[in-house]
Homo-oligomer: A and B are copies of this chain.
Amino acid sequence: MERDGHTGSATGAALPAGGGPLPAGGAVAAVDVGGTGTRVRLLPGGPRADAPGVELPAPGRTVGADGIDTGSLLTGLAEALRQERAARPGGLPPVAAVGVGLSGLLGLTADPEALCRGLAELLGADRVVLAADVVTSYVGALGVRPGAVVAAGTGAVALGTDFAKRWVRRDGWGHLLGDAGSGAWIGQAGLRAALRAHDGRADGSATLLAAAVQRFGSPEGWPARLYPHGDVAGRMAAFAPDVASAAEDGDPTARAVWRRAAEHLADTVVAALPTEPGPGTESGPGTEPVVSWCGSLFRAGELLAAPFREAVRAARPDARLVPPAGSSLDGAAALATLVLTAPDRLPDAAPYLRVWTRDGAARHTAF
């Protein structure tokens, strides 16, 4: 297995050739913390580089009045690791560094110091890279290089960065304030079109109405089912696949919804690119702005990807569209590897990216 294997498919093109070999025994952990679940991937390094990685699920983060609950997050991870160690002869490999992508880090209150220290203790690591989930998504898609990436699942957010001074977030405001073109946006547009058909209005879609009735029952009951729900965005996004099926079957309303979503996502990622060449941007003479995309919404394939590419090219003919190399978990693994092999390439850029070291003697103490 090549060194790149440590970081998954995300970084085959992204990690620098000059990053150097991993220190012996330098296994890394990648942690992807979401609202509904956490994924942990342990990747062996050094002399055990041939061993397969381990992936295990854990509870997601919870949010209280004070923001992200670090204590319950660490407790859930500790239990997941305990079970995995108990079930695995020989236990788990020691870990030199942890890369963490944390959903909500940009909008919610969090305790980064406590989280990094707790993760380091749980996994025996000396270094932790804590990043917003949009950063791990970015690195998973494009690696550590300048550009802009839009991440679209239930929500939608774009990050433009040069991994130096420029860190630009666009949208990501949630289903009420933004997230234009997201899964929740598509599902909501589909449900609205279904209800307009139910109301006998000319711009409704009978196809979407039939699909929504099959999924949610009689329209009269939809408000009572949706509004008290704790995750209305997720519930609306659950209808996006039905809107995709209707679009694939030629329903014009559904097709228009997906096209408009693609245009919104293209607008969002283009808005994250620098508009003018300058110090620290990638669009100076001789370079071109790089754009990528990621997230579960793009599993819709060409239905979304084709109009997305078209809209990006229309807005920025100079842009180079690069398909995503990997996932956000791949991105977290890449960050963990980089902090061991090429820490100078990771800037301290709170709240987007923070580097924590156990002894506090490294360049970035950050807290």
Contact partner of A222 among B177, B191, B236, CB < 8 A?
A: B177
Task: State whether the Cβ of A224 lies closer than 8 Å to any Cβ in chain B.
Answer: yes
Q: Are B192 and A177 in contact (CB under 8 A)?
A: yes
Q: Are B107 and A199 in contact (CB under 8 A)?
A: no
Distance A37 CA – B59 CA, assembled complex (angstroms): 40
Please give, as numbers and ranges, the residues of chain B lying within 8 Å of A109 by CB-CB distance.
Answer: 224
Given contacts A223-B107, A224-B107, contact A177 B195 (CB under 8 A): yes
Q: Of B107, B176, B196, B267, which is within 8 A of A188 by CB?
A: B176
Task: Contact check, A195 vs B223: say whether CB atoms are below 8 A apart.
Answer: no
**Which chain B residue lies CB-closest to A196?**
B178
A interface: dominant SS: mixed
Whether the Cβ atoms of B173 and A195 lie closer than 8 Å is yes
Q: Decide: A199 and B171 in contact? CB cutoff 8 A.
A: yes
A220 at the interface (CB under 8 A from B): yes
CA distance A191 to B176 in the complex (A): 9
**Chain B: minimal CB distance from A314 (Å):** 15
Residues facing B in A256-300 (CB within 8 A) are: 267, 271
Which chain B residue lies CB-closest to A67?
Answer: B224
> Which chain A residues numbered 71 to 115 have a C-beta less than 8 Å away from chain B?
106-109
Docked Cα-Cα span, A93 to B271, in Å, equals 66
Bound-state Cα–Cα, A223 to B174, Å: 7
**Interface: A255 (CB within 8 A):** no
Q: Does A226 contact B (CB under 8 A)?
A: yes
Task: Report whether B178 and A227 are in contact in the complex, using a CB–CB cutoff of 8 Å.
Answer: no
| A124 interface contact, C-beta 8 A | no
Please report the C-alpha to C-alpha distance between residue A67 and residue B171 in the assembled complex, in whole angstroms.
36
Q: Is A271 in contact with B199, judged by CB distance below 8 angstroms?
A: yes
User: Which 8 A-B pairs give the minimum distances between C-beta atoms?
Assistant: A107-B223, A174-B223, A170-B199, A173-B195, A201-B271, A177-B191, A177-B195, A178-B195
A interface residues with partner B (beta carbon < 8 Å): 63, 67, 106-109, 170-171, 173-174, 176-178, 188, 191-192, 195-196, 199-201, 220, 222-224, 226-228, 232, 236, 267, 271
Beyond the given A174-B227, A176-B226, A178-B192, please list 8 additional residue pairs across the A-B interface where CB-CB is below 8 A: A107-B224, A109-B224, A176-B227, A176-B232, A176-B236, A178-B195, A178-B196, A201-B271
Instruction: Name 16 interchain pairs, CB-CB below 8 A, sorted by A.
Output: A67-B224, A107-B224, A109-B224, A170-B199, A170-B201, A173-B192, A173-B223, A176-B188, A176-B191, A176-B227, A176-B236, A177-B188, A177-B195, A178-B196, A200-B271, A201-B267
